[in-house]
Structure 1
Amino acid sequence: MAIIQLGRAFENFFAGRARYPQFRRKNVDDRFTLTNDPFRVEKARIWIPKLGWVRMREELRFGGKILSATVSRVADRWFVSIPVDTGEDPDPPKAENQGEAGADLGVEVLATLWTGEKEEKIPGPKPHKALLLRLRRESRRLSRKRKGSRNRQKAFRQTYLFLLTPV
């Protein structure tokens, strides 16, 4: 696999899409790829040559032909990426008709949706930003109160009551 990747790197270099391939350093972006031959997957474990059986966090989600496995290290944790060929193209499910709806774009409210009986208002980004700033301020006020005090209870009610009020 390393030779295949090196060949691809040189192809990209000579086509002008990349720089000259550099030797990969140790402990920087550590990863290696296993083709389908030298590893096996059973339930929640994988057999890697030279290491033996290694536990996985979860079982494979899809059944089918396993193409390869890439073992990579991110922040001192090792991850395995296993592409699987399921052999079928999943078609998205057909959406059923749920009736008609109207939309009105406005100035005070970003959009108003209605279906004939019910009207729903979607606030724009400016009120949302203002509410986030207010939430930060109220949370700061709450954090300054002594735990278990009446003033903390009042500040807690004030903080989360304002969250529940519609815009």
Structure 2
Amino acid sequence: MLTGRRYLLALTPAHTLQQTLRDLERACATHGTFKVRWRSRRTGPPSFRFPDPRQITVERVGRRWGRVRLPKLGWVRFRWTRPLGGVLRNATVRQDGGRWFVSFCVDDGRREADPNGKPPVGVDRGVTVAVATSGGWLRDRQVATPGERARGKRLQQQLARQQKGSARRAATRAKLTRLNARIRDRRTDFAAWTADRLTRAHGLVVVEDLKIGAMTASAKGTLTDPGKKVRQKAGLNRAILAKGWGGLLTTLEHKARYNGSRIVRVPPAYTSQTCAACGHRAPDNRESQAVFRCCACGHRDNADVNAAKNILAAGLAVTGRGDLAAGRSAKRQPPEDEAA
């Protein structure tokens, strides 16, 4: 008779355990053995993958519902959102916000689209406006309502007062998790909608190569060397993370493969201080968060749109040199008389 851990291992599908070991081996080979960290059970949502398509059967049972048969789980009903559209390769089950999801990886036979030949665009990611393009298109979305922010703060305070391991603390965590999941879904939807529009309408999308992890690091410092304006920096960090800069870039790179577009990253230095009309660079050019006025030529524009124009110019210069690193290549485009 099996007991304890051996009993739990017997209940677990063998292929999911093997897939976990493959993922661990790939992570160690990519990042190094001593840099790989296990995902926390408390902070990371549980997920597992069924890699063998021969053991997976998917059926549609209605207009909105389908079911999938998984090894040792049997038939599982799920909400049918769209057709599979290809040959099934694997299935992943994960929990997010108290809800369980199943996602299918399929081979749809599609390849990367050919260049669409449409005009380029520069994209500036900001805090006040999430996305501003060099053409003057501004796009933003409020992912959390004032009521949801107030409720989230109240739940955080309630969680801090409750005893760890208690049932009431677990219930409060579940409420907070569901609230954050709704906010995260809106942010994901915004990134997908925006990325699809940009890559469909433009053949080249230039963005800043921002180090978001370093930008959102805490400023509290240490006991011997405490930081300055810690609360202000924490507020800025929350505002940056709320806009989902990293998720937008990832979605742009994914959508570009299917829409015939190309994503280019450029260094972000001085794009918000440089005049897109005359090239004058000065910190005083930025009058406010929203207004840019050049001290040399008097050019006036939306600050984010002006930065997007500078980003586009840097991206066109980079692609003209033939590589993606400023200062690395000595190649230049030939003059017009030589090219003729």
TM category (shorter chain) comes to 0.3 to 0.5
Structure number with higher relative contact order (C-alpha < 8 Å, ≥ 6 residues apart): 2
TM-score normalised over the length of structure 2: 0.26
The structure with more strand, counted as a fraction of residues: 1
TM-score normalised over the length of structure 1: 0.47
